[in-house]
Amino acid sequence: MKDLSSSGAWRVAVIGAGYVGLTTAACLAHLGNEVRCSDADQERVDKLANGIVPIVEDGLTELVKWGLHSGELAFSSSNTWAVEGAEFIFLCVPTPQGPSGRADMSYIETVSKEIGPYLSSEAVVINKSTVPVGSTHVVERMLGREDVKVVSNPEFLREGSAVHDFLHPDRIVIGADDEATAIRVSALFMHLGAPVLVTDPATAETIKYASNAFLATKVSFVNAVAALCEAVGADVHQVVLGMGYDPRIGSSFLKPGPGWGGSCFPKDVAALVRIAEDAGYDFSLLKGVIAVNEEQYARVVEKVQRLAGGELQGRTVALWGLTFKARTDDTRDSPALEVAKRLQDNGAKVVAYDPTVNRPMEGLEIAKDPYAACQGASVLVVATEWDEFRWLDFDKVGELMENRAVVDARNLLDRAALRRAGFSYEGIGLI
Ligand code: NAD
Ligand code: UGA
């Protein structure tokens, strides 16, 4: 290892090479640090070591290849190798939903116990995984090292724009028990030009959950307004536009859709309800937010059923989009899959197409292109807002379908053009 002590760059370890860990590792290497990244998945490590990035993220492959080439970035399946000589160690392992909604802390605990004895004296362990309030102190205990500090540094990147978000953050939050450690950690991010908020660990952990829960609340709110628009004959696009001119409201994160999903919102909102419950507070607002989201899946299925003439049994439904949003390959807790499952439960055959998903998925027929998915379909459902869906030949789509009918759960397509072409069209909250 080269001597980095006077260069304003550091030896960094990143444990977990998923959406957050790989982005963190590649970006910190790009910023001049010497980064070792480890992952328990040997196949993933082998690919990464050869410059093959197993996830879809704009700009990530280029950064990983550059890091490997320059020698700033290296991969292994050994966590103890990664932490050897590291001044900063980022924990980026999963915290999935466990029983009763609580976050499953077992990955964090296992890694902390494993690496504890191998950490350099005065190292700082930085928890980037989304973890329940109090977890920073849990990690401290698991490491069993008096000389090692632990801080919380929640991550706010979005999938699909992870590299951009990491390099252009709105804010850096550091939850630390002592200011000197917070300052040491903030130096890692000093070139990013973002405001740095230093708090105690519990506050930092709460900021992360509260942020995701608030964003999910916005989406549930607009989906509820969309339902109201349908009931009273208003247009949700115009309603959001009219609301958004008020700077206190804004118009971001108010796009109606099939419900919010992904690897984080569902588990994090459920975890916050549980954290509140465990602390003696009934977060009924968030329970409503979850309930509206569940209703949204059902509302999409009802629309399909209506356009199919009331009966889904024996009908074929074409599904465009399987990922939980566009520009990612992630299907974890995707609303598209939830809608597909409910359609199948009602007796429909679902034929799906997604530009980033061609692996087999349980119960679903995967088509080779969007047109093939429409062959003989009674209804087409647009579940993910892939831009390329806008520009397809809808005359061809109509000819392939048994019946010209579209449920556009992302309000993506040109509804006037589709109606002119003889399609029955239903969006979300549109007249
Ligand atoms: P991920 O599933 O994409 O990646 C996690 C990686 O950790 C996997 O590659 C897995 O093989 C590896 N891993 C599991 N156990 C390990 C071990 N013992 N040692 C080494 N590696 C191990 O997860 P992710 O989406 O990157 O999320 C990680 C954390 O970051 C979660 O807490 C999540 O809530 C949080 N987060 C995610 C996002 C996001 O957009 N995905 C954004 C902000 C925060
Ligand atoms: C979200 C947050 O935006 C990130 O800040 C956070 O770091 C991350 O969760 C996390 O903790 O993992 P992400 O899961 O990548 O990021 O996805 P979003 O872009 O937030 O979308 C979440 C869901 O809401 C998607 O299903 C999306 O389609 C839906 N959504 C979003 C809408 O239906 N309408 C909107 O206006 C916005």
Q: Which long-range contacts (C-beta less than 8 Å, at least 24 apart) are formed by 66-72?
A: 66/29, 66/30, 67/25, 67/26, 67/29, 67/30, 67/35, 70/29, 72/29, 72/30, 72/32, 72/33, 72/34, 72/35
Q: DSSP code of 55?
A: S
Q: Which two tokens stand for residue 343?
A: 């359609």
Domain end among 199, 232, 266:
199
Task: Let me know whether 183 and 138 are in one domain.
Answer: yes
Assess if residue 171 is contained within a domain: yes
Looking at ligand 1, which atom is closest to the CA of residue 95? 32
Which residues are designated catalytic? Answer: 264
Q: Domain check: are 172 and 229 in the same one?
A: no
Residue 183 sits in a domain whose CATH number is 3.40.50.720
- How far apart are the CA of 429 and the centre of ligand 2, in A? 20
Say how far apart CA 40 and CA 91 lie, in whole Å.
Answer: 13
Compute, in angstroms, the gap from residue 129 CA to the centroid of ligand 1.
7
- Residue 142, Cβ density class (10 Å: 0-12 exposed, 13-18 middle, ≥19 buried): buried
**Same domain for 268 and 140:** no
User: Could you tell me which of 262, 266, 274, 289 has the C-alpha nearest to residue 102?
Assistant: 274
Say if ligand 1 is within 6 A of residue 15 CB: yes
Residue bearing the CA closest to ligand 2, atom 3: 158
Is 158's C-beta closer than 6 angstroms to any atom of ligand 2? yes
Burial class of residue 341 (count of CB atoms within 10 Å of its CB; 0-12, 13-18, 19+): middle
Query: What is the domain count for the chain?
Result: 2
Please state the separation of Cα 308 from the chain's center in Å.
32
pLDDT tens over the chain, length 431 residues: 455 655 669 999 999 999 999 999 999 999 999 999 999 999 999 999 999 999 999 999 999 999 999 999 999 999 999 999 999 999 999 999 998 889 999 999 999 999 999 999 999 999 999 999 999 999 999 999 999 999 999 999 999 999 999 999 999 999 999 999 999 999 999 999 999 999 999 999 999 999 999 999 999 999 999 999 999 999 999 999 999 999 999 999 999 999 999 999 999 999 999 999 999 999 999 999 999 999 999 999 999 999 999 999 999 999 999 999 999 999 999 999 999 999 999 999 999 999 999 888 878 999 999 999 999 999 999 999 999 999 999 999 999 999 999 999 999 999 999 999 999 999 999 98
What is the span of the domain harbouring residue 329?
215-426
Q: Atom 44 (ligand 1): residue with closest C-alpha?
A: 155
pLDDT of residue 49: 98
Q: Which residues pair with 318 in a beta bridge?
A: 351, 380
Whether the CB of 265 sits within 6 Å of ligand 2:
yes
Instruction: Flag whether 329 is in a domain.
Output: yes
Which of these three, 199, 226, 249, is where a domain ends? 199
Residue 209 lies inside a defined structural domain of this protein: no
Ligand 1 touching residue 24 (CB < 6 A): no
> Which domain-ending residue is among 199, 232, 248?
199
Does 130 contact ligand 1 (Cβ within 6 A)? Answer: yes
Are 57 and 191 contained in the same domain? yes
Q: 158 C-alpha to center of ligand 2: Å? A: 7
Helix, strand and coil percent figures for the chain, each rounded to 5: 45, 15, 40
**Whether 296 contacts 259, CB under 8 Å:** yes
Whether 186 and 242 map to the same domain: the answer is no
Q: DSSP of 193-228, one letter per residue?
A: ---EEEE-HHHHHHHHHHHHHHHHHHHHHHHHHHHH
Q: What is the pLDDT of residue 1?
A: 47
Which of ligand 1's atoms lies nearest the C-alpha of 128? 30
Q: Cα–Cα distance between 404 and 421 in angstroms, integer?
A: 9
What is the Cα Rg of the chain in Å?
23
Q: What are 367's two structure tokens?
A: 């088509």
CA–CA separation, 115 and 293 (whole Å):
39
Which H/E stretch holds residue 34?
Answer: strand 34-38
Report CA(120)–ligand 1 centroid distance (Å): 24
Question: Strand, helix or coil at 374?
Answer: helix
- Within this chain, do residues 102 and 169 fall inside the same structural domain, yes or no? yes
Whether 132 is in the pocket of ligand 2, judged by its Cβ within 6 Å, is no
* 349 and 395 co-located in one domain: yes
Atom in ligand 2 nearest the alpha carbon of residue 159: 15
Which of 214, 276, 271 is CA-nearest to residue 94?
Answer: 271
Between CA 189 and CA 187 the distance in angstroms is 5
Domain shared by 60 and 188, yes or no: yes
| Residue 207 placed within a domain | no
From the CB of 19, is ligand 2 less than 6 Å away? no
250 and 177 within one domain: no
Predicted local confidence at residue 266, as pLDDT? 97
Span from the CA of 324 to the centroid of ligand 2 (angstroms):
9
CA distance 267 to 322: 19
Q: How much distance in Å is there from the Cα of 99 to the middle of ligand 2?
A: 23
Which of 14, 20, 209 to probe ligand 1 with, by most ligand atoms within 8 A of CB?
Answer: 20
**171 plus 237 within the same structural domain:** no
264 lines ligand 1 (CB under 6 A): yes
Please check whether residues 136 and 78 belong to one and the same domain.
yes
Give the closest residue to 19 by CA, choosing from 7, 31, 27: 27
CA 163 – CA 335 distance, rounded (Å): 24
Give every CB contact of residue 189 below 8 A, 6+ residues apart in sequence.
Answer: 169, 172, 196
Residue 81 in contact with ligand 2 by CB distance below 6 A: no
Residue 168 in any domain: the answer is yes
User: 377 and 406 share a domain?
Assistant: yes
Tell me what pLDDT residue 302 has: 98
Structural domain includes residue 120: yes
The phi and psi torsions of 131 (rounded to 5 degrees) equal: -135, 150
The verdict on residue 404 lying in a domain is yes
Which is the closest atom of ligand 2 to the Cα of 410? 33
In a domain, 34, yes or no: yes
Distance 130 CA to ligand 1 centre (A): 9
